[in-house]
Amino acid sequence: MPSYYKLYRTSTLGAALTDSLDELITAGHITPQLAVQVLEQYDKSISEALSTKVKVKAVMKGNLRTYRFCDDVWTFIIKNPLLKFDHEITTADKIKIVACNSRRPGE
């Protein structure tokens, strides 16, 4: 069985799921073990959805302020990034990119 990154748990969707699970655990409705199983399913579902359902291409430009490569994970901090999507452009003062290797260990 392929493994999936836990990376996306930090997103809005993952954080909301984590909070909802936490509410159920605290109320005694589910066990932490079951919650972990749900999160693992989330890892799989979001990973598959991103790779198969999303068609958007994006371009990022900006000043690389910090870069780091540790445990096969790249982290970039970009100052004044310009973020271009198919039909939209947005900017921010600073953005952090966390990127795991698309080729997973063992593949």
Residue ranges in 46-65 that form contacts with another protein under rule CB under 8 A: 46-51, 53-65
Give, as ranges, the residues between 66 and 105 that touch another protein (CB under 8 A). Answer: 66-69, 74-78, 83, 85-88, 90, 92, 94-102
At its nearest, how many Å lie between another protein and the CB of residue 106?
15
* Rounded-to-integer distance, Cα 31 and Cα 82, Å: 43
User: Which of 22, 71, 105, 107 touches another protein by CB under 8 A?
Assistant: 22
Q: Which is nearer to another protein, 1 or 58 (CB)?
A: 58
Cα 105 to its chain centre, rounded Å, is 18
- Element holding 52 (H helix, E strand): helix 32-52
Q: Are 73 and 98 in contact (CB under 8 A)?
A: yes
